[in-house]
Amino acid sequence: MNRAALYMRVSTLDQHPETQLYDLRQMAQQRGYRIVEEYTDTISGAKARRPGLDGMMRDARRGRFDVVLVWTSDRIARSVKHFLDVLDELNRLSIEFISFREQIDTGGPLGRAVVVIIGAIAELERNLIIERVRAGMRRARLEGRHIGRPSLRLDHAAIQRDHQRGQSLGQLAKSYRVSRTTISRVVGRTSPRAPT
C-alpha cells in the first residue's frame, strides 16, 4: 500500500482547507493509499517559503511517503520555476505527484508535461490580472483620482506646542495616533533614538 502525504493551502485566514482535505482523503481511500501525514499552509502561494510545504519536503527527503496528493496544482506554487523545482525534487526522490482537480499525476512523462503546461497557464493568468490592475491604476492617475490611503493630515503646530510642553515622542505618537518616526519628523528630529 502506497504511503500518501496530503498538502493543502489556502491564501487567507477566512478560507478553510476542509474542502480540499475532504476530497483528498476520499481520493486516497479510492486509490488504496495510506495517509501518513497532512500538511497545511495559510499563506500566499507566491511565497516560496511556507512551513507546511517546507515540512512536507523535509519528510519527502526522509522517505516518509511515496505519493503527494494536492487539490489543484496551484496549491503547491504560483511560479512555474518554483513548481518545477518541487516536481523535480519529488521526481528525484521517486515520489509521485497527483492533482485532484486536474486528474493528472506524474507517474508518466505525459502527466508531467500536462502539469507543467497547467502551471504555465496559471502563471500567465496571474500575470494578466496583475497587468490589468496596473493599467487600471494608471488610468485612475491620469483621470486625477487618488489611489491608496488618504494623505495623513496632522496639526504640526499643535504637535510642536505639545512637544515644547514636555510631552515625549512616544506620548505624542500615541495622542496623534501616528508612529514615533512621523512625530520625530514633525518636531524636526531625525534620530529614532531621541530621548523620550
Pick the residue with more confidence: 120 or 98? 98
pLDDT tens track for 5-31? 999 988 766 577 888 899 999 999 999
Q: Looking at residues 167-176, what average pLDDT do you find?
A: 88
Q: Which helix (H) or strand (E) holds 49?
A: none
Looking at the fold, whether 84 and 158 belong to one and the same domain comes out as no
Q: Looking at residues 146-168, what average pLDDT do you find?
A: 84
Q: Into how many domains does the chain fold? A: 2
In DSSP terms, which residues pair with 6 in a beta bridge? 38, 69
The CATH code of the domain that includes 91 is: 3.40.50.1390
Closest CA to 73 of 51, 93, 90: 90
Mean pLDDT score of the chain: 83
Closest CA to 70 of 109, 42, 94, 39: 39
Cβ-based neighbours of 31, under 8 Å, separated by 6 or more: 2
- Residue after which a domain boundary falls, among 107, 124, 141: 124
Alpha helices, DSSP H only, in the chain?
Answer: 18-31, 51-61, 80-92, 109-142, 156-164, 169-176, 180-187
Q: Looking at residues 160-183, what average pLDDT do you find?
A: 88
Rounded to 10°, the helix 169-176/156-164 angle is 140
Looking at the fold, whether 110 and 40 belong to one and the same domain comes out as yes
Task: Please check whether residue 178 lies inside any domain of the structure.
Answer: yes
* Domain extent for 22: 3-124
pLDDT at 191: 43
Per the document, the length of the chain is 196
Residue 11 annotated in active site: yes
- pLDDT confidence tier of residue 190, bands split at 50, 70 and 90: very low
Q: What predicted TM-score, i.e. pTM, was given to this entire model?
A: 0.56
Q: Is the pLDDT of residue 128 over 80?
A: yes
Give the CA diameter of the chain: 77
C-alpha cell at 188: 524636526
- pLDDT confidence tier of residue 189, bands split at 50, 70 and 90: low
CA dist., res. 51 & res. 94, Å (int): 22
The CATH code of the domain that includes 169 is: 1.10.10
